[in-house]
Amino acid sequence: MYITRLLCLIVLAAVLNICAAARPALPFAPCSRAVKDTVEPVIHGDFADPSVIRVGNIYYATGTSSEWAPHYPLFRSGDLVHWKQSGYIFNKAPDWTSSSFWAPELLYRKGTYYVYYTARKKSDGISCIGVATSDDPEKGFTDRGIIVEFGKEAIDAFMVEENGVWYITFKAYGLDNRPIELLGYQLSEDGLKTVGQAFMLLRDDDRKGMEGQCIVRRNNYYYLLYSAGGCCGLQCSYHVNVARSRTLKGPYTRFEGNPVMAAFDGWKCTGHGTVVTGKNGADYYLFHAYNNRTDVHTGRQGMLARLNWDTKTGWPSFDPVAGEPVRDFSDDFSKGSLGPEWQWDFRHTQPLVRPGKGRLYLSGTAGLENRTGTALTVRPYYGNYEMTTAVLNRNSALKGLTVYADADQAVGIGIKNDSIEVWCVKDNIRRVLGRVKVNGLPTCYLKMTVTDGQRLGFYWSGNQRSWNEVRVADAGISQFLPPWDRSSRPGLLQQGTGPAAFGFFRIRYF
């Protein structure tokens, strides 16, 4: 019996050693706790179309902000796994832009930081690519205007070098009867203009989609990673394909094993990323994906994978790298300025804020079409959470909490004079779902719970020790709330005449 058990242990150890050897080594240890049995993102929350660069020992990343301001969040890291938001590319929208702030791409060259970004023009609503520069990305960028304007659409910039000459590539068309194409221009020496005529890299003749390209030179080939399928929303089908060529301008040969990345470990609709070489010499791909469980309610989050180059064929494969779980979020408004986590819907309102000494005064200017009010929001990291606040003042304005998607798509709870209201705005029609009369509360504490991103609960208290639920007939936000390309966001809300005064804002994930 002893010999049999010993032999079993020896065989088991050998099997474990073989498995360990077969698994590619990761540069960072995976986190010990994964939420809902999924690999953790490295940048949690709504962070689509990420771009990443390394300058010395520091990594910088940015991504799509869509209709949230400030525009294009900027993150900093020392190891590709632990990231901290340091600000935004733009605190104010460039003068030529109107909306759809998508797919910024970072470049560091000769001591200057560049960002090539997509936005719609005010004049005609066509998406173009602009460029901005900075000596220090954490101190903001100076806009240099439009660099690529092509037909009915030019989006998803990516820059690549060949023989000392830099080029900008982009996605064109897709909005008319022509097929989608990945095109390129030579860049001027200063990187602020294009030179000559556009050339084609790849065409979407089978009309399966093609965008979010990234080009790297390895093994004497240019490898063109691109995303195909539907990028966004409940019916997304995004995945990553690859093609390669001996020269930058092609012709490119598609990999017979495509897609090289699709769904994995609780995540789906993977794509639109950038390759960066780590400090350890390995290549990594920062991309986005939806969580299978919370889907559009937590948005496309920032994921990381290691690239492995096949020594025989040269084609790449990908191994996910796990990030770390996030902590709960809180702001006690003790500082004289808001942290970089806060954003707002710049199309419908301009919040007026005055934080400091444990109090935030919130008001704003909203157009007549805005049925919701002024929302100040943060990105949700998981689908299960509760948020709480303290309303410190009384007036005729509604003051409280919200899950906000757009001015015509929002849900919340607030206090107005001496009444607590649970409300909903759907299709720009506002309804009060429940109302409770309260008297003599010097401070009104409000709480909302969110389960799986969409099931809601509403509560109020005078002391934070005992909570009273406001039961409503329609407590679910169902699928109407998130816009097609971004997640809804929890936050604070003020609507009407008079400011709201809040004592704190907290999110606890569970």
Ordered by start, the domain boundaries in the chain are 33-321, 329-509
CB 248 within 8 A of CB 159: no
- Percentage of the chain lying above the pLDDT 90 cut: 82
pLDDT bucket at 367, cuts 50 / 70 / 90: low
> ω before 251 within 30° of 0 (cis)?
yes
As a whole number, mean pLDDT of residues 155-173 equals 97
Phi, psi of 13 (to 5 degrees): -60, -40
pLDDT at 439 over 90: no
Largest CA distance in the chain: 84
pLDDT at 8 over 90: no
Per-residue confidence (pLDDT) for residue 502, from 0 to 100:
98
Q: Which amino acid is at 206?
A: D
pLDDT at 484 over 90: no
**Beta-bridge partner residues of 87:** 74
Could you tell me the strand order of the sheet in which 316-321 lies? 267-277, 283-291, 300-309, 316-321
CB 321 within 8 A of CB 28: yes
Which is catalytic among the residues 204, 211, 331, 485?
Answer: 211
pLDDT tens digits, residue range 274-300?
999 999 999 999 999 999 998 899 999
Per-residue confidence (pLDDT) for residue 23, from 0 to 100:
31
Question: Residue 314, class by beta-carbon neighbours within 10 Å (0-12 exposed, 13-18 middle, 19+ buried)?
Answer: middle
Which is catalytic among the residues 46, 49, 153, 331?
Answer: 49
pLDDT bucket at 477, cuts 50 / 70 / 90: low
CB 475 within 8 A of CB 458: yes
Phi, psi of 204 (to 5 degrees): -90, 70
CB 492 within 8 A of CB 360: yes
> Identical fold at 33-321 and 329-509?
no
In the structure encoding, which two tokens stand for residue 203, read together?
């065409």
The set of long-range contacts for 191-196, using a CB threshold of 8 Å and a minimum separation of 24, is 191/107, 191/109, 191/112, 191/114, 191/131, 191/133, 191/159, 191/166, 192/131, 192/133, 192/144, 192/147, 193/147, 194/147, 194/148, 194/168
In the structure encoding, which two tokens stand for residue 339, read together?
């942290």
Phi, psi of 347 (to 5 degrees): -75, -30
Per-residue confidence (pLDDT) for residue 436, from 0 to 100:
96
In the structure encoding, which two tokens stand for residue 143, read together?
């806009």
Known catalytic residue at 408 = no
Per-residue confidence (pLDDT) for residue 216, from 0 to 100:
98
As a whole number, mean pLDDT of residues 184-190 equals 98
The residue with tokens 């460029």 is 131
**Average pLDDT for the chain:** 90
Which CATH number applies to 33-321: 1.10.287.950, 3.40.50.300, 3.40.50.10300, 2.115.10.20? Answer: 2.115.10.20
pLDDT bucket at 480, cuts 50 / 70 / 90: confident
- CA dist., res. 192 & res. 474, Å (int): 53
Per-residue confidence (pLDDT) for residue 11, from 0 to 100:
33
Known catalytic residue at 49 = yes
Per-residue confidence (pLDDT) for residue 478, from 0 to 100:
55
In the structure encoding, which two tokens stand for residue 368, read together?
């007549």
Find all residues with CB under 8 Å of 164, minimum gap 6, and list them: none
Which has the minimum average pLDDT: 10-24, 73-87, 151-165?
10-24
pLDDT tens digits, residue range 84-130?
999 999 999 999 999 999 999 999 999 999 999 999 999 999 999 99
Q: Is 444 helix (H, G, I), strand (E, B) or coil?
A: strand
As a whole number, mean pLDDT of residues 23-44 equals 53
As a whole number, mean pLDDT of residues 224-243 equals 96
Third-level CATH fold of 329-509:
Jelly Rolls (2.60.120)
Assign 3-state DSSP to the chain and report helix, strand, coil percentages, each to 5.
5, 50, 40
CB 433 within 8 A of CB 473: yes
